[in-house]
Amino acid sequence: MLKQKKLRNEKKLFVAEGEKLVHEILLSNLEIKTIVAIKEWIITNEKLLKNKIEVLEATEEDLLRISSLKTPNKVIAVIEIPKIKFIAENLKNKLTLVLDDIQDPGNFGTIIRLADWFGIENIICSENTVEVYNPKTIQATMGAILRVNIFYLNLNEFFLENKENIQLPVFGAFLTGENLFKTELSPSGLIVMGNESKGISSKIASFINRRMTIPSFSQRIDKTESLNVSIATGIICSEFKRRAL
């Protein structure tokens, strides 16, 4: 049932699967409502299961049937979507990723994992960015979802507010721009990454102070080709962080 976005939003619940991820969630501040697991898992994790959690025993076949993944798991947890208030002031002196309509859950999950790796605490998403509680996104984050705050905002309004009040420099990844490795970067600011096929929308592009590009060393003729967005995000985040070392 929670495989559908509408139901996830109405019920304010999402699903996480797999021993490693559920274990991390049990140790986190998130509120688990229900756990469906095989007997063996329940016995091993008995001490971690607080009284409030409803625990249902199931067979591996049952789990496979309700799973969103192809590989069977020993445990599936239903978790309350946490409510975090967005406070623009909190972005000051920090590096923040801004995603303009990322559509692929795998890319989004990988970007969240990257943000965690590079100590980026917040990701701001356009309203049309793929849902973070999509099971594929959750699995691709590998637990990083517990350490990175995700906010869905009207990007236009957000950038207007930034311009007036927060005044963080805005960097954007483009196919043509200044060489990432030679351009001036700052230890805090907003890094905008665009949609997989369309890139950064023109409306958002107007807010960008610095257009960066990852230089290519390829022999290919077609200059419209680009790196995968999660790869590009990895290279850009590492460049910002290595400068501050």
**Does residue number 172 form part of the binding site for a second copy (CB under 8 A)?**
no
CB neighbour burial string for 231-243, b if at least 16 within 10 angstroms, e if fewer: ebbbebbeebbee
- Residue closer to a second copy by CB (options 19, 62) is 19
**Does residue number 152 form part of the binding site for a second copy (CB under 8 A)?**
no
How open is the CA angle 170-176-177, to the nearest 5 degrees?
45
Of 25, 26, 3, 28, which is closest to residue 14 (Cα–Cα)?
3
**Does residue number 94 form part of the binding site for a second copy (CB under 8 A)?**
no
d(CA 210, CA 212): 6
Q: Which of 38, 142, 166, 205 is in the footprint of a second copy by CB under 8 A?
A: 142
Phi-psi region of 227 (alpha: psi -120 to 50; beta: other; left: phi over 0): beta
**Does residue number 63 form part of the binding site for a second copy (CB under 8 A)?**
no
**Does residue number 70 form part of the binding site for a second copy (CB under 8 A)?**
no
Are 200 and 174 in contact by the 8 Å Cβ rule? The answer is: yes
Number of residues located near a second copy, criterion CB under 8 A: 37
- Residue 93's contacts (CB-CB under 8 Å, 6 or more residues apart) are 187, 188
- Residue 187's contacts (CB-CB under 8 Å, 6 or more residues apart) are 93, 95, 240, 243, 244
- Residue closer to a second copy by CB (options 60, 225) is 225
**Does residue number 197 form part of the binding site for a second copy (CB under 8 A)?**
no
**Does residue number 147 form part of the binding site for a second copy (CB under 8 A)?**
yes
**Does residue number 227 form part of the binding site for a second copy (CB under 8 A)?**
yes
**Does residue number 222 form part of the binding site for a second copy (CB under 8 A)?**
yes
Q: Which of 32, 36, 114, 190 is in the footprint of a second copy by CB under 8 A?
A: 114
Q: Which of 16, 145, 214, 229 is in the footprint of a second copy by CB under 8 A?
A: 214
- Residue closer to a second copy by CB (options 99, 155) is 99
Q: Which of 17, 101, 116, 131 is in the footprint of a second copy by CB under 8 A?
A: 116
Measured N-to-C along each axis, helices 229-243 and 105-117 cross at an angle, to the nearest 10 degrees, of 10
**Structural tokens at position 18:** 């797999």
Q: Is the dihedral of CA 222, 223, 224, 226 positive or negative?
A: positive
Q: Kindly state the DSSP code that residue 82 receives in the 8-state scheme.
A: P
Binding segment for a second copy among 37-45, 82-90, 195-203, 227-235 (CB under 8 A)?
227-235
Restricting to residues 10-29, which ones interact with a second copy according to CB under 8 A?
24
**Does residue number 143 form part of the binding site for a second copy (CB under 8 A)?**
yes
Q: Which of 110, 122, 195, 213 is in the footprint of a second copy by CB under 8 A?
A: 110
d(CA 106, CA 111): 9
Interacting residues toward a second copy by CB under 8 A: 24, 106, 110, 113-114, 116-119, 142-144, 147, 179, 181-182, 214-220, 222, 225, 227-228, 230-232, 234-235, 238-239, 241-242, 245
